[in-house]
Structure 1
Amino acid sequence: MRRSQSVLMSTICENCTLEYMAVTTSSMRKRLAIMDAAKQSFLAVGFTDTNLDDVAATAGVSKMTVYSHFSSKQNLFVAIMNDVIDVRSADGHRLEVGSSPADFGATLTAIATELVETVRDPEVVGFRRVLVQEQSRHPGLAAAWRKATVVATTAELEQFFASARRQGFLVRRVEPRAVASQFLWMLIGEELDRALLDPGHDTVTPAVRAREVVATVLGAYAASVTD
């Protein structure tokens, strides 16, 4: 190819790339606007009563654009639900046991604090309330939330406690999955109940709740020198 043709093709490709980026950016802005509008509606009136015509109007797009991005109201809800979960998981403390009992305890306390903060988050509470309200009509939504939160977190904690046992920080007889479930529900059980039934009346800070639960778990399962 002659140099003039090569330069011409390069210029065309650059223009195509810029045009593609502009289209992609515009599409992403519309997607985010739709998700933001729909989230506010879901939290305010629930899944069933959310109207996609209203969502489209609030987002400043057509209803066809909503469907081109999500194809259904359920897919839109799940996308928002996953985004809420992902945002709160992105900066989570790494589940690394560490090289000493002190490291293990510090990590456990950090994880516990984050779990309490997450379960108290207004958007998390709001989505849980919606899912409880909609469970009889749309059980798949609640099941998807539970799989992505409680089930996934329990599985991760199970691996964490199994690693701690292998390193000698927990007694050998401990069952990692049982400890994971106990740890999680000691942290979030009362928090969920209060958030749904008596919101705004937290009795202790997340850090205090975390320290209480960690002390209980380590008191029951931490390995002694002679274990």
Structure 2
Amino acid sequence: MERMVQKFVLIAIGLLIAPTVARAESPLMIEVAKFSSGTVGQAIPEGWKPLTFKKISKHTSYEVVKDGEVVVVKAVSQASASGLTKEVRIDPKEYPVVRWRWKIDNVLQRSNVVLKEGDDFPARLYITFEYDPDKVSFGKKLKFKAGQVLFGDIPIAALNYIWETKTPVGTIVENAYTDFAKMVVVESGAQKVGMWIDEERNIYEDYKRAFGEEPPMINGVAIMSDTDNTKEQATAYYGDILFRKSVK
């Protein structure tokens, strides 16, 4: 359990360094990951940084590659776990929609979103949120303060968009290790393996549905492919990620 809580905490800490901020004269969209403009062969895309875990010695490998005519990030996980992170600062009420694209080569046979031993996924997109005392309940404030004592600077919450194996698309459940993170199943099963899938989610609505309250500012984005619990292998590809305003 300690190792998996560390996953969440280190993702949080890894997202607290140099924010990308939505400015006063805000554009229609904010590109947080322009992987398609990257340099093939790079291990870490520009503006991103690696996320590794102290007690997990085997890391997922990441590389900027060309898939067909498009430059993307390829992740290969072999009984391993690590990710790539980027600090941002985005108002989810102004930019409620996140769009991204991804592809996987296989699902994990033992992946299970409700089990600690199944908390591995071929592809994840994390959205983390900063602590705003005006937007959280008293009980959550107490839990957050206790978490800070144990782990230091952590986000108040995270939405974790995943590609699961059996759980129905649209399911939102607590992370198997911490209720600070909610798991949102956006793809499930092997039907779309090998296909590029364009995803779009309303973060603002997902947060309210998952946590029952207004979301605070978004403070980070991370991608991760992990197989350290299931001891399986997974390959995934991540395309560009952007946030945009609602179309009215």
What TM-score, normalized by structure 1, do the two folds share?
A: 0.23
More strand by share: 2
Larger Rg: 1
